[in-house]
Chains A and B, each alone.
Chain A
Amino acid sequence: MPTKSDAERVLLPLATAAVAILVWALAVRLSQTSVFPSPWKVLLGLRELFGRGVLGPYIGDSLRRVASGYLLALVLGIPAGLALGWHPSLASAFNPVIQMARPISPLAWIPLAILWFGVSEAAPGFLIFLGSFFPIVVATMNGVKSVPSMYLLAGRNFGLSTPRLLARVVFPAALPQILVGLRIALGIAWIVVVAAEMMAVDSGLGYLIIDSRNAGKRYDLVVAGMLLIGIIGLALDTLAQRLERLPNVRWGFQQDTA
């Protein structure tokens, strides 16, 4: 596989970002808009937010909400996916419901979430759970279903009971696909937290954006919040992608060269 040089990996994206910022600055200047902020104004806005001391707690709150909803989805979703993938009859029973619930945007649940949990921490947690649960269940289920039968035969041949077979063969064999689901779910969770914070709570990056608009149309702070969301989302995705390099799952992400 040809390895990309460091220059290509670092310099090219930086150049693209620089061009984008330049285009943004020029567009603001040429259109003489008084509403949309220039890159410089956004930078000043970021500094102001740092100065007010709200940024750290807001980021912390958003991450904590994602962590709680996402971890709950992970803890329930992986066993559920294993069970559905392993028992065809369970999959027949539940798959239609899952496939119907899956395309419903977690945001459509906001009214119900507020009805059930009120304006509280539980509401965004519930929405994030919903958003990440289904991708994890479906990826785990499909991962289990596509475990090569040869691995199962080999596991049985060595005298493994079904629980042992699930733990020592099915789960590790499905793990690369499960990780793909976890990564997708994390991305969704990060998207959902922002929306949830706009509706149901009064802290976090989503709240920052909606509050900046409502209290004085501070679009510099809106865009600053958006940029932060993007950067943190990228960082989360990079971390999730790192997991794909763990030695016991790497085989699932590489072309077989042997």
Chain B
Amino acid sequence: MSAPLPSKVSVHGVSMRFPTDGAPIEVLSSVDLSVADGEFVCILGPSGCGKSTLLNIVGGFLRASSGSVLIDGEPVEGPDPRRIFVFQERGVFPWLTVEGNVAFGLFRLSPEERARRIAHYVKLVGLSGFENAYPQELSGGMKQRLEVARALAVNPDVLFLDEPFGALDSITRLVMRSELLRIRRAEKKTILFVTHDIDESVQLADRVVVMSTRPATIRRIVDIDMPHPRDLSSPRYNELRDLLLGEIGLAHKI
């Protein structure tokens, strides 16, 4: 990173405790993070470490026990159409067609603008010809594309993706990653992407935030200094991968 970019998302001392019958469970412990405008940040950590909780706090779905989240300098008070959360492909609405799903967030626009956006985003995610199909007629990968299209159609500045490709098979997952990078070149967005997949984070991110086990803190932030398209067999790729493996605390051999 050469010149310091203005901070799009900034997380200050965020902690999260969930009340239980006994002592409250601490899930996040004073997390500080700053994400630049247009940056692609992966939050990497073991399952159940609290990385999704962090994303839900930044997205406005959960309120932190302490600390604050600012986006464009304003505190996050709740969910906002300028920042869209993409779930696993189960988040698409099964009662709406592909077109209906993409149009879901466009109710404030004129019919002409709505039609233009639908056409544009259906095409961008490669679902042309499926405009009138219902989600149950689509494969898992297509449903995920649909959810991304629905999110992009409202032209948000920030996308939150919570293990979006976790339910897909490994080949579809690879395809979806390169699709996401292609879409990102077309529509520059700030992206926070939660994953427990080390390869995924090295393939996608500008920076990888490695979380510890619960209560999660940031162990380390690793710059992925490789230009796209990234060569998955290059020495640098393997170096970064091994570095992250080590940070997560896993052996390098199986």
Residues of chain A whose beta carbon lies under 8 Å from any beta carbon of chain B: 148, 150-151, 153-154, 156-159, 164, 168-169, 172-173, 175, 247-252, 254, 256-258
In whole angstroms, how far apart are the Cα atoms of A150 and B162 in the complex? Answer: 12
Q: A151-B93, A258-B143 are in contact. Are A157 and B134 (CB under 8 A)?
A: no
Q: How far is the CB of A159 from chain B (nearest CB, A)?
A: 4
Contact, CB under 8 Å: B96 / A258:
no
A173/B138 in contact, CB under 8 A: no
Please give me the 10 A-B residue pairs with the lowest Cβ-Cβ distance, nearest first: A158-B105, A251-B94, A159-B81, A172-B95, A248-B95, A157-B79, A156-B79, A251-B136, A150-B91, A157-B85
Min CB distance B40 to A, Å, is 20
Distance A169 CA – B83 CA, assembled complex (angstroms): 19
User: B residues 30-75 with Cβ under 8 Å of A?
Assistant: 59, 61
Given A157-B81, A159-B105, A148 contacting B90 (CB threshold 8 A): yes
* B138-164 vs A, Cβ < 8 Å mask (1 yes, 0 no): 111001000000000010000000000
Which residue in chain B gives the minimum CB-CB distance to A159?
Answer: B81
The smallest C-beta distance from A143 to any residue of chain B, in angstroms, reads: 12
CB closest residue in chain B, given A251: B94
In the complex, chain A residues whose CB is within 8 Å of the CB of B85: 153-154, 157
Report the interface size class on chain B.
20 to 34
Whether A247 lies near B79 (C-beta < 8 A) is: no
| Residue from A148, A159, A169, A251 in contact with B80 in the complex, judged by beta carbons closer than 8 Å | A159
**B84 interface contact, C-beta 8 A:** yes
Look across to chain A and name the residue whose beta carbon is closest to the beta carbon of B61.
A153
20 A-B residue contacts at CB 8 Å? A150-B87, A151-B91, A153-B61, A153-B85, A153-B87, A154-B87, A157-B59, A157-B80, A157-B81, A158-B104, A158-B154, A159-B79, A164-B107, A173-B95, A247-B97, A248-B95, A250-B134, A251-B95, A251-B134, A256-B136
Grouping DSSP codes into helix (H, G, I), strand (E, B) and loop, the B interface class, with mixed when no group exceeds half, is: loop
- Are A250 and B136 touching (Cβ within 8 A)? yes
Given known contacts A153-B85, A254-B136, is B91 in contact with A249 (CB within 8 Å)? Answer: no
A248 to chain B, nearest CB (A): 4
Docked complex Cα distance between A159 and B87 (Å): 17
A154 CB contacts on chain B under 8 angstroms: 85, 87, 91, 93
- Chain A contacts for B105, CB-based, 8 A: 158-159
B195 to chain A, nearest CB (A): 18
Which partner residue on chain A sits nearest B106 by CB separation?
A158
Which of A153, A158, A254, A258 lies in contact with B81, CB distance below 8 A? A158
